[in-house]
A and B are shown apart, each in its own frame.
Chain A
Amino acid sequence: MNSLNKYLIAGVSASLLILGACTEETGEDTMDNGQKVIDPELLDPNRSFNTSFDGKLFSVPSPVQTALLIRSSNLAYDESLLNSEDNIGNYTTNTSKALNLGIYGADLGYATLYDQNAKSLSYLNVVESLSKDLGIAGAFDAKFLQRFEANSSNQDSMLVILTDAFRKGDMFLKENDRKNSSALILTGGWLESMHFATNLYAKSKDERILHRIGEQKQSLKTIIDILKEYNADGVNDEILLQLNSLNDLFKTVEITNEFVAPVTDEAKKLTTIKNKTTMTMPDELEASIRAKVQEIRASIVGKPA
C-alpha cells in the first residue's frame, strides 16, 4: 500500500471517529420537571453554516388534532377503524413503510385518546418496528418506550411523549436529506385522520367533523406539492395519482375567508385570531370524498376497500 493510500485511510478513519461521536444523542438532557437543559455553548451569531436543508418548508396539521375533535364528539371508540398490526408484514418498500408509520402513528394517537392502554402499547411496538426499518429508531428508542409505558395512566403525558418522538424523527429525516420519508409519514398520518373523520361523520353527522373534512383542502394541496417536490425517480407517482384524484373532488369544496382584525394581549403573549371562514360541501361531495379516501387508504394498508 503506498503512502498516499495510508494517509487517505487514516484521514477517513479520523473523520469517522468524529462523526461517530456526533451521531446519536447521549446522556440525559431533560430535568426531572420535563424541561430541557440547554447547552450553553451555542452558536456564534456571526458563524455561517452549510446545512443539508434546501430552504423549503412544509407543514401538515397533526392527526392528533382531528382525533381530539372526534373524542370531544363523544363518539364511542371503534377499534375496527384501525389498521391491523398484523399488516406490518406487508410493508416491504420504504414508501409503504413510511406511509404506514404515519398511519400507525395516528392509530396510536387515537387509541391513546380513548385510554386503550393495551392497544396503545401494541401499536407502539409496530411504530417502533417501522421506525427501525426506516432508520429513525433513535426517536423511538428504549428511553422513549420506558417513558411512554411509565406514563400509561396519564393521557396528556403519553400524547406529549409520542408527538415529541415523531418530531425527533422528523428532525432526523430532514437533517439527513430524507425529506421524502418525512413527507410520506406526514401523508400517512393525514390520510388516517381523514379515514377517521369521514367514517365517523357518516355515523354521527356531526357538523364539526364535516367542517374538519372540508378544511383539509389546503393540507391536501400541501401534501401533493411536497410529494411532487421530492419525487426522485418517480417513487411517489402512484400515491400522487391517487391524491390528485382526491384533490379533484376537494377543488369543488367552497371555502371563503373574511379578515377580522386580531386582538392581542401583550402581557399574556396571546393573539386571538378572529377571521371568519365558511365552508360549503354538499352531501354528495362528502360521500364521494369519503369513498375516495377509503379507496386510497385501502391500497396503502393493503386490504380491499
Chain B
Amino acid sequence: MKKIIILSIFTILFGSFSTNAQDCDSVSRVVESYIANDDKGKPFVSDGQVYVAFLDNEKAEFNTTLYGGSYYRLAASAGVKDDYVIFSIFDSEDNLLFTNKDFKNSPYWDFKIENTVSVRIQTELDTDKKVTGCAVLMIGFLK
C-alpha cells in the first residue's frame, strides 16, 4: 500500500505541473485561431508576445503603446467557450476606450488607431461564467 501511495504522489505532483502548462498552451492555441487572419484573409503579424495570467477573481493588466496609422486585433481566451474573458482598454487618463463586455465578451476585436496612444489593457474572467483559470491574450497588427 505504501508503494502505491508514494508512486501516486510523485505522479500526481509532476503530472499536474506539466498538465497545467499544457492547458495554458491549449488556451493559447485557441487565441491563435482568432488572430490568424482578418475577414479578408490577410494575416495578422504577431507582436511576438503572449500575455498569460492565472486569474482568481482578480484583474491583470499591462501598459503598451498602440501606434497611429496601425490596425490591431486583440484576442483572448480562457478555455473552450468564447466568452470567458473580459478585456478593456484605457488611455493614460483612465478614459475607457473599449471593453468587450459591451459586446457579449467577444473573444476578439479590431482597433484602428488614428494617432499613437499609450494604453492600459486589463483582463479579467467573467466570474458569472468562470471563476478561476488561465487567461491568454495576444496582439496582432496588419502589415
A215 to chain B, nearest CB (A): 5
Please tell me which stretch of A13-21, A77-85, A129-137, A232-240 contacts chain B, meaning at least 4 of its Cβ atoms lie within 8 angstroms of it. Answer: A13-21
Chain A residues lying within 8 Å of B139, measured Cβ to Cβ, are: 59
Is A164 an interface position by the 8 A CB rule?
A: yes
Which residues 65-82 of A sit at the B interface, judged by CB distance below 8 A? Answer: 65, 68-69
**Contact of A163 with B45 in the complex, beta carbons under 8 Å:** yes
- Tell whether A257 pairs with B118 under 8 Å between CB atoms, given A36-B36, A156-B43: yes
- Tell whether A18 pairs with B30 under 8 Å between CB atoms, given A166-B48, A259-B95, A270-B112: no
Tally inter-chain residue pairs, CB-CB below 8 A. Answer: 257
Interface residues on A, range: 35 or more
Which residues 6-53 of A sit at the B interface, judged by CB distance below 8 A? Answer: 7-8, 10-12, 14-16, 18-19, 22-23, 25, 29, 34-36, 38-40, 42-43, 45-53
User: For chain A, what secondary structure do more than half of its interface residues adopt (helix, strand, loop), or is it mixed?
Assistant: mixed
A24 to chain B, nearest CB (A): 11
**Contact of A42 with B26 in the complex, beta carbons under 8 Å:** yes
Chain A residues lying within 8 Å of B80, measured Cβ to Cβ, are: 40, 42-43
User: For chain B, what secondary structure do more than half of its interface residues adopt (helix, strand, loop), or is it mixed?
Assistant: mixed
Chain A residues lying within 8 Å of B30, measured Cβ to Cβ, are: 38, 42
CA distance A53 to B16 in the complex (A): 15
How does the 8 Å CB contact mask read for B62-100 relative to A, with 1 for contact and 0 for none?
111111101000000011110010000101110101100
**Contact of B66 with A273 in the complex, beta carbons under 8 Å:** yes
**Contact of B70 with A51 in the complex, beta carbons under 8 Å:** no
CA distance A35 to B29 in the complex (A): 10
How does the 8 Å CB contact mask read for B112-130 relative to A, with 1 for contact and 0 for none?
1111111001000000011
**Contact of A61 with B65 in the complex, beta carbons under 8 Å:** yes
Q: Which 8 A-B pairs have the closest CB atoms?
A: A11-B10, A15-B14, A166-B48, A57-B62, A42-B80, A43-B79, A59-B64, A22-B18
A-B contact pairs, 14 of them (CB 8 A): A3-B3, A15-B10, A47-B133, A50-B20, A57-B52, A61-B65, A159-B143, A167-B49, A170-B49, A211-B116, A257-B93, A273-B97, A273-B98, A275-B97
